[in-house]
Structure 1
Amino acid sequence: MTTIRYGVIGCGMMGQEHLRNIALLPEAEVVAVYEPDEGMRAEAARFVPEATMVASVADLLAIEAVNCLLIASPNHMHLQQLEEIARIRPLPVLVEKPLFVDPADAPRLAELRAAYPAPIWVAMEYRYMPPVAHLIREAEAATGGVRMLTIREHRFPFLAKVNNWNRFNATSGGTLVEKCCHFFDLMRLIAGCNPVRVMASSGQAVNHLDETYNGETPDIWDNAYVIVEFESGLRAMLELCMFAEGSRYQEEISAVGPRGKIECLVPGPGRFWPSDLGEPPVPQVIVSPRHPKGPRMLDVPVDPELLEAGDHNGSTFYQHQGFVRAAQGRQDPEVSLSDGWWAVTMGMAAQESARTGKAVEIASVAHAPR
């Protein structure tokens, strides 16, 4: 079986989480890293001391041992780096979300997919969190067909990133793209069909208002309500608050149908849990049938080694397990370019709705790349 030898593009906070999780895979290793920031490059070298540090994407692709790629650079660089890879040496790629940050870039993405000869997997870690994955598997049986879906995320503000790229819409794509494309991906996955209409209210109420970078105040939003209507008639709602880090659970997802309800409760990163409160909460799934009434609660603990390796409840590890199989030709990517396109498109529609105060119809949007 082919050993997967990663070339990694971008080793900031999320890139380093990927490095820690790749190290847990017996059939994979990191052999080369491109990270232009000196501090982040030094941190990456601590995790992968044997990897070659290079000065560009082209230099990374020139290393013959590299047979797959991870892109974990700032959001606004993802598409141009995919295009550069396509021109030079198109290898299997796991690319962090979001795929792009400018609506005008959608045709470029379609052109890339039409010509790219290797698998591209979009990193949507929330699918692979054990309690979320459990809800996805059991939603149809527990609900009798989901009719209403609610996702609540009450969490901490955006963390500091290199050059503060996540403080501004132009480089991040905006909160409802940067942060929430994960949730729009989950909505569409659970719905099993595409959205037709988005309505949103959002803004910047608390966070980053007293910060200034190069004379500019951050314009990134910190709260939102978003309602999405799907082709099937399913309605989904997102409630986001990024100044609620005191919450016991960071994500709460609820799916309801004619037979009953299924929920999952997901704690935030364990490193943020106050030590004086004891052990962090354990993820839970709750099934509440209509007949007979009475909720059934199930703990869904995550392997402590995986919790130590990252902030996403083990999902980064499980995602890499699947990507390794895809890179070896043993399966197709589970999160396609089309999935990534829809997640960004839904986020952009939500931002447009919040800006204009009007519902945004997206059924007529050009077809996603396949």
Structure 2
Amino acid sequence: MQEVTDLSNNFYTGFFKSDHLSDRDKYLFAKPSPAYKFNIIGAGMIGQEHIRVTMLEGRATIHGIFDINTNSIANTGEFFRREYPAEPDLKVYETLEAVCHDPEVDGLIICTPNYTHKDVIKEAIKSGKHILVEKPMTTTVKDAREISNLAKDYESVFQIGLQYRHKSIYTEATHELLERKAAGNIKTISIVEHRVPFLDKVNQWNKFSHYSGGTMIEKCCHYFDLLNFYAQSKPEKVYATGGMDVNYHDFKYDGNASDIVDNAMVIVNYENGIKAQFNLCMFAPMFYEEIIVCGDKGRLKAYENDDFLPLNREKTYLEVLSGENGPAKTAHPCYPSVIQESGHNGATYYEHKYFIDNMERNHQSTATVEDGFWSIVVGEAAERSIKTGDVINIREMIDAEIGSKL
């Protein structure tokens, strides 16, 4: 029975009405009592996404929220009451210390602006609770190493929100490339992101490199994590070119002009010889991601597309071409629609599912603190290369930044 009720809580109720039934008459639609309570630190748009997937996944509930912005607190409180009227109102905490150390709570989900992550994590880690922190872990290599050192022997789950690994196209790519070895030994990796500009945030912090870490860290850490993950190696050299060519030229906030790049091409050489590239455009009228991986036995291509057009066509595609080495494959990876629509095309849902699985010692592969560190390393190297025009030697950069050899 437990397996059936878990399934119904995840997505059956999104397709069938059961409000007319009393609790006594619910079997398939019986809702199991959540085993865990989470607090949300940072009650903005991403905080609401984490609330949504927590409630959808069902094994946990949201106990409370903390944010220094009163509008965000009010909006998220209203959102929660509207979407989950049967649940108790969210507890609103007055201080960071209070939200981190409430003994009723099992886990903390950190969704505050990038530049606050280090200080929030340093308080959260004192609690010993399970922690899920949104990407990027920090905004600099130096701060990222400080956090990774703090979390080195952390006994509870400490997961970084590099959830793109769990999008359906990348989940299938992982299976084909790293488990099935459909392309053989990987030699080159290419990732593309073409999308609309950065959206509005509270105090517009994402328009300024000082607060976000720069576009290469703020947004592109997702893709650098994927490059690192598929290369299964550490980056050796990074070269990047890019600029602020279209977006936010006339944008100012409190008298300060935006300074974030809106396009870039990044080359990464890995210690094991794999070569990778990343292409970013943030003034395209779509959301498009593509990965192409070539190995000595074949090639994989996958993409995800939302171009706002009223056309009846697939939003995802995956192909594996193996030539004489094996069968070819094409597919359209996806998740159940209620999961797919819950955030980042289902990736945030599975990030939460695996977070709780790991809490229950049912080990799932997720982004670790060390993974978070290396995604920031490539991002900071790309930012430096764009500014200077130099090829960045990763070992030299880290040694100069944190004073220790890798």
User: One fold, TM greater than 0.5?
Assistant: yes
Q: Which amino acid aligns with 2:268?
A: V
Corresponding residue number in structure 1 for 2:210: 170
Render the CA deviation track for 1:19-70: whole Å, top value 9, x for unaligned: 1111111211000111222222122213434221112221213432111010
**Alpha-carbon contact 1:97-1:178 (below 8 Å) kept:** yes
Query: Equivalents in 1 of 2:359, 2:80: separation in Å?
Result: 21
Corresponding residue number in structure 2 for 1:288: 321
Corresponding residue number in structure 2 for 1:319: 351
Within the alignment, does 1:308 sit opposite 2:341 as a pair? Answer: yes
**Alpha-carbon contact 2:163-2:351 (below 8 Å) kept:** yes
Corresponding residue number in structure 2 for 1:24: 56
Query: Equivalents in 2 of 1:126, 1:326: separation in Å?
Result: 18
Task: Classify 1:160/1:273 alpha carbon distance in 2 versus 1 (closer, same or farther; 3 Å).
Answer: same
**Alpha-carbon contact 2:135-2:162 (below 8 Å) kept:** yes
Corresponding residue number in structure 2 for 1:212: 252
Corresponding residue number in structure 2 for 1:66: 105
Aligned counterpart in structure 1 of residue 141 of structure 2, from 97, 100, 103: 103
**Alpha-carbon contact 1:76-1:172 (below 8 Å) kept:** yes
Q: What is the aligned residue count?
A: 360
**Alpha-carbon contact 2:298-2:325 (below 8 Å) kept:** no
Corresponding residue number in structure 2 for 1:182: 222
**Alpha-carbon contact 1:121-1:333 (below 8 Å) kept:** no
Q: Which amino acid aligns with 1:139?
A: L
**Alpha-carbon contact 1:264-1:286 (below 8 Å) kept:** yes
Corresponding residue number in structure 2 for 1:86: 125
Higher relative contact order structure (alpha carbons within 8 Å, sequence separation ≥ 6): 1
Task: Classify 1:355/1:126 alpha carbon distance in 2 versus 1 (closer, same or farther; 3 Å).
Answer: same
Q: Which amino acid aligns with 1:133?
A: T
Render the CA deviation track for 1:72-118: whole Å, top value 9, x for unaligned: 1100111110101233x121100001111133324422431245332
Corresponding residue number in structure 1 for 2:8: none
**Alpha-carbon contact 1:4-1:327 (below 8 Å) kept:** no
Instruction: State the 1:333 CA deviation.
Output: 6.4
Instruction: State the 1:323 CA deviation.
Output: 0.3
Task: Classify 1:122/1:107 alpha carbon distance in 2 versus 1 (closer, same or farther; 3 Å).
Answer: closer
Q: Which runs of 5+ in 2 are unaligned?
A: 1-32, 82-88
**Alpha-carbon contact 1:2-1:328 (below 8 Å) kept:** no
The runs of 4+ residues in structure 1 deviating greater than 4 Å are: 292-295
Query: Equivalents in 2 of 1:298, 1:171: separation in Å?
Result: 40
Corresponding residue number in structure 2 for 1:339: 371
Task: Classify 1:107/1:190 alpha carbon distance in 2 versus 1 (closer, same or farther; 3 Å).
Answer: closer
Aligned counterpart in structure 2 of residue 202 of structure 1, from 242, 255, 258: 242
Within the alignment, does 1:221 sit opposite 2:261 as a pair? Answer: yes
Corresponding residue number in structure 1 for 2:186: 146
Aligned counterpart in structure 2 of residue 236 of structure 1, from 263, 276, 288: 276
| SS class of match (2:51) | helix
The percent of aligned pairs where both chains have the same amino acid is 31
Structure 1 vs Structure 2 CA RMSD: 2.3
Query: Equivalents in 1 of 2:108, 2:329: separation in Å?
Result: 42
Task: Classify 1:42/1:2 alpha carbon distance in 2 versus 1 (closer, same or farther; 3 Å).
Answer: closer
Aligned counterpart in structure 2 of residue 265 of structure 1, from 292, 303, 306: 303
Corresponding residue number in structure 1 for 2:93: 54
Query: Equivalents in 1 of 2:176, 2:255: separation in Å?
Result: 50
Q: Which amino acid aligns with 2:227?
A: M
Query: Equivalents in 1 of 2:131, 2:57: separation in Å?
Result: 17
**Alpha-carbon contact 1:8-1:71 (below 8 Å) kept:** yes
| SS class of match (2:247) | coil
Query: Equivalents in 1 of 2:153, 2:320: separation in Å?
Result: 45
Corresponding residue number in structure 1 for 2:7: none
Corresponding residue number in structure 1 for 2:10: none
Query: Equivalents in 1 of 2:223, 2:389: separation in Å?
Result: 21
